[in-house]
Amino acid sequence: MTAPKPGTTVRGSQTGRPIMAVLDLLGRRWSLRILWELHMSGPSSFRDLQRLCGDISPTVLNTRLAELREAGIIELREKGGYAITGLGLELGAVILQLGDWAERWAGSMEVGGPGEKTGLATKGRNGKKTSRRDS
């Protein structure tokens, strides 16, 4: 009920071009990560996914899952929980390539990335209880 759809107006675009809806959907926080984890671990329960994503809050997780489901990329099965659909598998192949690219990227960063700066990462409201695992 909130997922962008081809043929409609989405964030930053009114032409209805499919790619724009995809970019909007996948550009939302946690979308890519959820898809990645589902691809790596196979069908997972809500709570499993939550843990796989480093104890993401159930609120966003549920929102993203609903969107992804509405887009037909994943589905909720009677048994096994959330799983990638046939359509989603094709998308997954693309996402997997991100993994390969990430490795090359990491390599080139080491030697002498453009930055060389310290590169902080995430802040996190407080240093209290960041997750223990992340798959």
48 is a site residue for DNA (CB under 7 A): yes
Q: How far is CA 122 from CA 119, 127, 133, in A?
A: 10, 11, 16
Per-residue interface string for the shown chain with DNA, residues 1-30, x marking contact by CB under 7 A: ----------x----------------xxx
| CA–CA separation, 82 and 122 (whole Å) | 28
Contact stretch for DNA (CB under 7 A) within 13-21, 42-50, 86-94, 104-112:
42-50
Find the shortest distance in angstroms from Cβ 96 to a copy of itself: 10
Q: Which two tokens stand for residue 126?
A: 């407080």
- Closer Cβ to a copy of itself, 31 or 44, answer by number: 31
Site residue total, DNA (CB under 7 A): 27
Cα–Cα dist 114/111, whole Å: 10
Residues 60-89, one symbol each (x = binds a copy of itself by CB under 8 A, - = not), give: ---------xxxx--x---------x-x--
Residue 56 binds DNA (CB under 7 A): yes
Tell me the C-alpha distance between 13 and 63, whole Å. Answer: 22
Phi, psi of 89 (to 5 degrees): -60, -40
What's the rounded Cα separation, in Å, for the pair 135 and 125? 22
Residues in contact with DNA by the rule CB under 7 A: 11, 28-30, 45-48, 55-60, 62-63, 65, 76, 81, 122-126, 128-130
